[in-house]
Amino acid sequence: MEKLTICLLLLHFSLFLFSIADGGSIGVNYGRVANNLPSAVKAVALLKFQGVERVKVYDTDPAVLKALSGSGIMVTVNLPNELLYNAAKRQSFAYSWVQRNVVAYYPSTQIESIAVGNEVFVDPHNTTRFLVPAMKNIHEALLKYNIHDKIKVSSPVALSALQNSYPSSAGSFRSELVEPVIKPMLDFLRQTGSFLMVNCYPFFAYESNSDVISLDYALFRENPGVVDAGNGLRYFSLFDAQVDAVFAALSALKYDDIKMVVTETGWPSKGDDIEVGASLDNAAAYNGNLVRRILTGGGTPLRPKEDITVFLFALFNENKKPGPTSERNFGLFYPNERKVYDIPLNMEGLKHYIDRQSPVAGGERMQKGGKGNVSAGVPGQTWCVASGEAGKDNLQAALDFACGEGGADCRSIQPGSTCYNPNTLEAHASYAFNSYYQKKGRAMGSCYFGGAAYIVHQQPKYGNCELPTED
C-alpha cells in the first residue's frame, strides 16, 4: 500500500517512478462499430507503432486475425453472446468454432485468451444460463487441440454484477447470480488457472455522482484520499476502489486466489451537455494517468502486490455505436489514425509524459455541465445531509451504519436529546451523516452512503437543530 500511495500522490514527478520494475500491462480494445475505419492491416501497424502489447477484439474476423499474425501482439478474441446457446448445447459446435477461429491462426497470431460472451448478465436476450456451459465446452475444445495450457477462457463482467460496490470493503455479487452462475464460473476459472475479466468505468460513477466524487480522485490526480470505513484502507483513485470492490466480492465467496484482468476501461473525450465530465482534457488525464499507474507497478490497497493487466477502451472513435454522444467518443485515435489526445501507451513514452491539468478556478476544477466538486482541503465549510429520494430502507441502513460501525456521534438524536426533534428519518440520518462526514475531515467519498447523502454549502437546520461542524 505504501508504494501505491507514493505513486498516486506524486503523479507529477513521473521520472521518479521509473525505478519501479515489472509493472502491469496495457492493452487496447479494437472495436469496429463504424463505417470509416482504416483497414485491419493499418490498425495493427498503428498498434505496433504505439508499442501496444495486447489487443482485445469483439469477434474473430479473419481479416483482423490475419493482420495480427506475426505482429508479436497478444490477442484476446471473443465468442459473441449470440453464439452462447450453440456453444453451450453442442460440444461439436465448440470444437468447430475453436478449430476455425483459434487453431487456424495460432500460434502465428498469438491468441492468449478467449472472452466467452461480453457482459452476459445484462444481455437482454437472457443468455446467462448458457455462459458457464459454453465456457466449459470451449475449454474442452482447447483441450482437444492441446492448447488449453496456452489459451485461457473467461468472460467479461460489468460492475453491475455487484450488489454492493461502496465502500470497497462491502463489495459483493448480486445474490440472484451467486449460486447459479458466479460460483460455477469462479470454480471453472480456478480449475483452469484462468482469471476474472471485469469491465470497469469510473467515468460512469463520476458522471452520476459528480457532486460528491472529486474529479481529481476520478482522474488519478493528487488528492487527500478516501478512507474505506470497513477496512481502514485509504484510496487515492476511484479506479482502485472499484477494482477492490470486485476483489472484496471474490473474497466474500472465498475465491481470494482468483486473479483479475480489467478488460475495459476508459473515459470519453466528448459527450452530450448532460454527460458530466466528458471532455478531451479529462479523457487525456484519465487514460494517461491510468497508463502510468499500471505500468509503474503496484497493486491496489487490498492487493498491493498484484500487478494488473488493463485494456483501454478503445482504439478508435466508432461512429455507428448507439446511445449518447460519449459512446462514439471513447477512442484514443480518430479513424484517420490521428491521436484524439497525446498520451503514452508504453514505458518509453512515459519518460516524457506530463498530465497537463486544465486551469483551476476558485479552488475547484471547472467543467462544462458540471455540478461542482467538494474536496477535503478546499477552503469553506460544507455539510452532509440525507437525500429524501434515497428511500426509507436505504436511509435506515445508512443511518445504522453511521451510528454503529461508522462511529458517528448520534447522542443528540436520541429521545429527549437536543436534536431528537423533528423525529423524522431524514432529519436523524442527516445529523448522523454529517457527524460522520465532519469526523472524516470532509474527505472525498465520506458523504456518499450508497447514494443516500449529498453535500451542501449552507449550514442545514432541522427544527431548532443546526448540523454542527467538527473541525
Q: CA distances (Å), 329 to each of 53, 323, 334, in order?
A: 23, 11, 9
Q: How many CB atoms lie within 10 A of CB 352?
A: 9
What are 258's three cell numbers? 482468483
Distance CA 320, CA 351 (A): 36
For 83, what's the count of Cα atoms within 13 Å in the CB-facing half-sphere?
A: 20
Residue 155 — left, alpha, or beta (φ > 0 → left; ψ -120 to 50 → alpha)?
beta
Place of cell 468454432: 97
Q: CA distances (Å), 134 to each of 157, 376, 442, in order?
A: 15, 48, 48
What are 330's three cell numbers? 471513447
Catalytic residue among 53, 82, 119, 405: 119
What are 86's three cell numbers? 450453440
- Asked if 2 is an active-site residue, the reply is no
Q: Which of 61, 144, 74, 62 is nearest to 107 (CA)?
A: 74
Q: CA distances (Å), 407 to each of 132, 182, 204, in order?
A: 43, 34, 30
Place of cell 474442452: 140
Distance CA 171, CA 74 (A): 31
Asked if residue 31 lies in contact with residue 315, where contact means CB atoms within 8 angstroms, the answer is yes
Backbone CA torsion sign across 29, 369, 395, 300: positive
Kindly state the helix (H) or strand (E) to which residue 283 belongs, with its residue range: helix 280-295
Backbone CA torsion sign across 249, 255, 256, 259: negative
Distance CA 49, CA 30 (A): 15
Distance CA 220, CA 259 (A): 23
Catalytic residue among 264, 275, 318, 426: 264
396: Cβ–Cβ under 8 A, 6 or more apart, which residues?
A: 425, 429
Q: CA distances (Å), 331 to each of 43, 178, 273, 326, 328, in order?
A: 13, 34, 19, 10, 8
The string over 276-294, giving b where at least 16 C-beta atoms fall within 10 Å of a residue's C-beta and e elsewhere, is: bbbbebbbbbbbbbbbbbb
* C-alpha torsion angle, residues 200, 235, 292, 172 (rounded to 10): -20
For 12, what's the count of Cα atoms within 13 Å in the CB-facing half-sphere?
A: 6
- Asked if 264 is an active-site residue, the reply is yes
What are 75's three cell numbers? 490477442
Catalytic site positions = 119, 264
